[in-house]
Structures are given as C-alpha cells and as structure tokens.
C-alpha cells in the first residue's frame, strides 16, 4: 500500500501519530499474535500508563487473557514473570468470531437454512379469555 497508508489508517495497526506518541516509552513485551506492549508515564492518579499496538486489525478480542490482565493493571509485572506457566489442559484464546464464517449460528438461523425442529406439542398459545 505504500508509505502514506499507515499515516491515515487506524484500523490496521498503529498510525504514524501513535508511533510518535510512543517515543520514550518502554517496550515491555510481545504476545504470540505479534501485538506489542508498551509502558511509560503516569496518569493523574499515579498509575502507570500501558498500551498495546496491534499487529493487523485493531480488535480487542485479539489480546490474550494474560496480556489483558497486564493492560488492566490486574498484575504488576509482565505475564512471563507474574503468572504461572500454561497448563496442558488450557486451550489457546480465540478472537471474537462474530461476523465471520466461523461464528456460532443456532439451529434455525438463516445462515443454516432457516429450518427449525418441529414443535413438541407442549406449547399452548395464550389468549386473553383463558
């Protein structure tokens, strides 16, 4: 797309202005999806400010749970140093699939043919006279 593309597009990674705003901030890590995490400065309450720069589309559901806990100040250190190792039975986090082909569609949804199971006969419509 060329050089000017990241200057104007906020939905696909960081813009030029965001990158300039992160000058002097400390890069603290990178997750398995390639998102970069930064820390620096303090807010008016004295809490350190933290940022994520997405690799690809800007979708908050693409932040793994361990890094979300760091961004939300639930843990002080990075996930590598503050959290226990991942257990064998844990599944990897999935991004929000709404609006994609992999989204959940219940029986009877238009995308699944719009055919619902027959009623079981235990339904009786309400009438005001009853």
Report domain extents, the chain.
5-105
60: its two tokens: 């908050």
Which H or E run contains 11? none
* pLDDT at residue number 1: 47
Answer yes or no: is pLDDT of 6 > 60. no
Give the pLDDT score at 11: 56
First-to-last C-alpha distance (Å) of the chain: 68
Q: Can you tell me whether residue 83 is helix, strand or coil?
A: coil
The model's pLDDT over 93-125, given as tens digits with 9 standing for 90+, comes to 788 888 888 888 887 787 777 777 777 777 788
Confidence of residue 54 (pLDDT cuts 50, 70, 90): confident
Helix (H, G, I), strand (E, B) or coil at 18: helix
- Comparing CA positions, the residue from 66, 68, 65, 26 lying closest to residue 48 is 26
CA 36 to CA 82: how far, in whole Å? 18
Rounded alpha-carbon distances, angstroms, from residue 104 to 66, 96, 99: 25, 11, 9
What's the pLDDT score for residue 10? 55
């Amino acid at each position: 797309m060329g050089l000017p593309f990241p200057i104007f597009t906020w939905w696909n990674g960081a813009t030029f202005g965001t990158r300039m705003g992160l000058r002097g901030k400390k890069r603290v890590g990178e997750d398995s999806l390639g998102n970069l995490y930064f820390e620096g400065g303090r807010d008016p309450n004295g809490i350190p400010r933290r940022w994520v720069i997405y690799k690809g589309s800007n979708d908050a559901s693409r932040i793994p749970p361990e890094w979300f806990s760091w961004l939300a100040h639930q843990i002080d250190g990075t996930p590598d140093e503050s959290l226990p190792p991942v257990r064998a039975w844990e599944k990897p986090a999935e991004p929000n699939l709404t609006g994609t082909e992999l989204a959940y569609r219940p029986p009877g949804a238009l995308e699944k043919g719009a055919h619902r199971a027959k009623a079981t006969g235990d339904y009786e419509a309400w009438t005001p006279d009853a």
